[in-house]
Amino acid sequence: MSARTTAWIVSSALLIACGEPPATRAPLPAPSTVDLAGVEGDVDGTIEGQPFHAIDARFRVVTYEGRERVDLLFADQAIELCGLPLARTQSRVWLRIPGLTSLVPGELSLLDESTEGTPLQVHYERPNGRQFTEEHRGVARVEITRATSEQIDGRVHACFADASQSCIAGSFRALPCRGRVDGRAIREPPGIADDALEPPQRAAHAASEP
């Protein structure tokens, strides 16, 4: 192959590559899609085109200096040993409120990713074979109706900027996310029963099931 032919092939490949349109990201859903009016019942919806129903709702408080936040987690399976970095198979939606270590009744929202100072971030992850499909862009509203150290009640409506137009909405009661690394049983020896790491309400509910 001559040098001229090689140069032509390389130039053509560069022109074709430069002419390809850049990959576009799905636009953010309109703020009107996350209205809380009429939101009731359990938290459910669709994630990546698949039905999602929140079986478990938790909240996690991070108090490390410079990383303070409150996370609200919704999962379609029971979250076992919530505070530990264990392999998981659930689909999860989580809302992150940075800069806070407690919540008070009121409304939080993320309606535009360019908004400065917004207190809410929205994410989801869904099992996809051996990996997870993740999305970190969306719009959401959360109304907190009650907040204590043992329980957070409220309503949520979140929609994501993915091709499937994923959305979830409903009322929730979130219990604390605890594990050996940050739970009340941190001094217990190995082999402790899992329910000792769970919030009292969750352990009592499990014991009452047939």
What residue spans define the domains of the chain? Answer: 24-180+192-205
Per the prediction, the chain carries an average pLDDT of 78
Average pLDDT of span 14-21 = 45
Q: Is 120 exposed, middle or buried (0-12, 13-18, 19+ CB in 10 A)?
A: buried
User: Per the structure block, which two tokens stand in for 150?
Assistant: 């043992």
Count the alpha carbons within 13 Å of 53 in the hemisphere toward its beta carbon.
Answer: 4
Predicted local confidence at residue 116, as pLDDT: 54
CA 20/CA 23 separation, integer angstroms: 9
Structural contact between residues 81 and 185, judged by C-beta atoms closer than 8 angstroms: no
Q: What is the pLDDT of residue 8?
A: 46
Strand partners, 98: 69
- Express each pLDDT in 47-70 by its tens digit: 999 999 999 999 999 999 999 999
pLDDT of residue 198: 58
pLDDT tens digits, residue range 77-118?
Answer: 998 877 666 667 889 999 999 999 999 999 988 886 566 556
Residue partners of 83: CB distance under 8 A and separation at least 6: 60, 177, 178, 179, 180, 181, 182, 183, 197
- With a CB cutoff of 8 Å and minimum separation 6, the contacts of 89 are 77, 127
CA dihedral 25, 35, 122, 86 (to 10 degrees): -120
- Tell me, what's the pLDDT at 118? 63
